Structure 1
Amino acid sequence: MKRYFTRAHTVRYDECDCNTLLTPTAFVRYMQDIASQDVEDAQLPGEGHWLVKRTLIDFAAPIPIHTRLELKTFGISFKRITSQRGYEARLADSPHSEPLISARTLWVYIDARGKPARIPEEIVRVWLPDGPEAPLSDPPFPAPPERTPETSTTTVRFSDIDLMHHMNNAAVVEALDNAAWEMYARHGIRPDTTRFEPLHYDIEYMESPAFGDSLNIQSWLEPADEQIVTLHQQIVREGKVMARACSQWKRFDKRS
């Protein structure tokens, strides 16, 4: 029987945007926390670590402040050095309803030296005791438009780095969303007139920026219609792409 790990959580004030809705950054932190708690609870053997390479998130509905959630994580598949992990968020009082948010990550297993390593069989048996399952097929990563992007800059701060002294995955998402709003502001779009609710987020982590690194964030906005927009972004350090993302958002113009 597949292993599932769950915990309850109430959405906090500091996890929401100015529209009192849970942010993508906060949900990525939920994913990190529950995956870490699952690993600790499983008491895994070995000295290896996990490094996220890609994250896909689907938002079925916005989640307001103080909502009580049931968060769930589980193993999906394992290959020689990679694994897929799933995540779901539901209303705590409706644990059998459709998820409000569903996600999955592709992880690489690394040894104590930081090199990719074979995943121990004992670890696979913890999450999939009945044997391996076929991995889900990740879609090809969308290419950004060929036109010149809009750009902004940032520096990796102390609060952005994690236990491995890399820029935390959630800090990457936060930097991308802040860069998007810098772009919107240049076009007269402000939080007091417009809100964007996330529908989908696809993030690929290619390299790990470190403390003090200067980063260039490139953004391309593609309106699909009056309400749905697609945002392509890249984080670049000295000409090399560190991370890239493609997200889809629903736009709402606030009425006075």
Structure 2
Amino acid sequence: MAKSLMPVPDPHPDVFDVEWPLRVADVDRTGRLKFDAATRHIQDVGSDQLREMGFEETHPLWIVRRTMIDMVEPIVFKDMLRLRRWCSGTSNRWCDMRVRIEGRRGGLIESEAFWININRETQGPARISDDFVAGLQKTTPVNRLRWKAYLTAGAREDAVDVRPYPVRVSDIDIFDHMNNSVYWSVVEDYLAEKPDLVAAPLRVTVEHDLPVALGDDLEILRHDYPAGSTDAFGPDVANRTVTTLTYVVGDEVKAVASLFAL
């Protein structure tokens, strides 16, 4: 949970580098770039890089298993966003991809996401072609990336809060389940009551276990762990206050999020 994110290898010809404006739908009432909007940008720049690399037709389907986002400094409305994307770890079926989002007038968001290449017919993990992997490895020496969960679901019995989260038709994507960015709308709902967290550098991680479908009775279980009680998250987080949000349908865990100040 307290891992150090790979620094941007700049300048580097294989770092994908684009700009686009920050739009009104991307910001909250204060003008801050929201986490759910940042996640959409992370998805979109991934699609653009895939097209630029020439693999949009051969590797069209990807799902994200984990996204870690550090809001180092808020990016505010009417700014121009610079997004840089590069690979920080590879395997033959999945990869870690870093995205740095900067505002021209200030503000910085760092992220890393664990992406799995999906076979259209089986809907399972698929091998990434050798030439694609070779391109990804130009920015990282990590070529034996393994999946390891960082987060543990909280139980309903000791949750400090349980809230329903209705799933809307507009939340469902091409895979017929709730899009990754919607999980971050849940994070924004929590942060609306915690302005002190948004004011400081903040790390939020979302891990996905199972998809959420239209019609599911989704609930969010919240657990708060005070500083000094968080050694279960690792020694580097033991002195932090950590909040977890567990996404459940009945007794089935769909995803888990964690939040703590950096």
What is the TM-score normalised by the length of structure 1?
0.80
Amino acid at match of 2:248: V
Letter in 1 for 2:142: E
Q: Alpha-carbon deviations, 1:19-75, whole Å to 9, x = none?
A: 221111111111011001111222215255211001111121111111222111112
Give the secondary-structure state (helix, strand or coil) at the position aligned to 2:182. helix
1:120 equivalent in alignment to 2:129: yes
Q: Quote how far apart the aligned CAs of 1:135 are.
A: 6.0
1:144 to 1:137, Cα distance in 2 relative to 1, 3 A: same
- Pairwise CA distance, 1:224: 4.3
Assess if the C-alpha contact under 8 Å between 1:201 and 1:247 holds in 2: yes
Q: Determine helix, strand or coil for the equivalent of 1:51.
A: strand
CA–CA distance in 2 between the matches of 1:19 and 1:140? 34
Is the contact between residue 71 and residue 89 of structure 1 (CA under 8 Å) also seen in structure 2? yes
Give unpaired runs (5+ residues) of structure 2: 1-11, 229-239
Counterpart in 1 of 2:158? 148
Q: 1:81 to 1:28 in 2, by over 3 A?
A: same
Indicate the percent of aligned positions where both proteins have the same amino acid: 23
Partners of 1:2 and 1:128 within 8 A in 2: no
Quote the offset at 1:143 in angstroms. Answer: 4.0
- 2:260 paired residue number: 248
- In structure 1, the residue corresponding to 2:165 is in which secondary structure? strand
CA distance in 2 between counterparts of 1:129 and 1:35 reads 17
Does the 8 Å CA contact 2:216/2:249 hold for their aligned counterparts?
Answer: yes
Once the 2 structures are TM-superposed, how far is the Cα of residue 249 of structure 1 from its aligned partner? 4.7
Mapped contact 1:76–1:135 kept (Cα < 8 A):
no
| Structure 1 residue 129: Cα displacement | 4.6
Give the C-alpha shift of residue 93 in structure 1: 7.0
Per residue, is there more strand in 1 or in 2?
1
Q: State whether residues 15 and 26 of structure 1, in contact with CA within 8 Å, keep that contact through their aligned partners in structure 2.
A: yes
C-alpha deviations, 1:124-145, integer Å up to 9, x for none? 1233358853467888624466
Q: Residues 223 and 26 of structure 1: is their aligned pair in 2 closer, same or farther, counting only changes over 3 Å?
A: farther
- Give unmatched runs, 5+ long, in structure 1: 251-256
Alpha-carbon distance in structure 2 between the residues aligned to 1:130 and 1:30: 21
Distance in 2 of aligned mates of 1:210 and 1:63: 32
Show the counterpart of 1:213. Answer: 216
Q: How does 1:2-21 map to 2 (within 5 A)?
A: 3-21=14-32
Name the residue aligned to 1:68.
80
Distance in 2 between the 1:136 and 1:80 partners? 9
Measured against aligned partners, the alpha-carbon deviations of 1:91-145 in whole angstroms (never above 9, x if no partner) come to 3378xxxx81111111111111211122111211233358853467888624466
Q: Retained in 1: the 8 A contact 2:63–2:117?
A: yes
Say which is worse superposed, 106-115 or 142-151, in terms of deviation. 142-151
Q: 41-50 vs 155-164, which deviates more?
A: 41-50
Q: 1:249 to 1:160 in 2, by over 3 A?
A: farther
User: Which segment is superposed worse, 2-11 or 128-137?
Assistant: 128-137
2:111 to 91, 100, 103: 103
Partner of 1:254: none
Name the counterpart of 2:68: 56
- Displacement, 1:222? 3.6
One-letter amino acid of the counterpart of residue 207, structure 1? L
AA aligned opposite 1:160 = D
**C-alpha distance in structure 2 between counterparts of 1:231 and 1:239, whole Å:** 20
Matched, 1:172 2:183: yes
Cα offset for 1:212?
1.9
- What aligned pairs does 1:188-227 form with structure 2 within 5 A after superposition? 194=195, 196-197=197-198, 199-224=202-227
Task: Mark the CA change 1:223 to 1:66 in structure 2 (over 3 Å): closer, same or farther.
Answer: farther
More displaced, 228-237 or 31-40?
228-237
Q: Give the count of matched residue pairs.
A: 234
Q: Displacement, 1:246?
A: 0.4
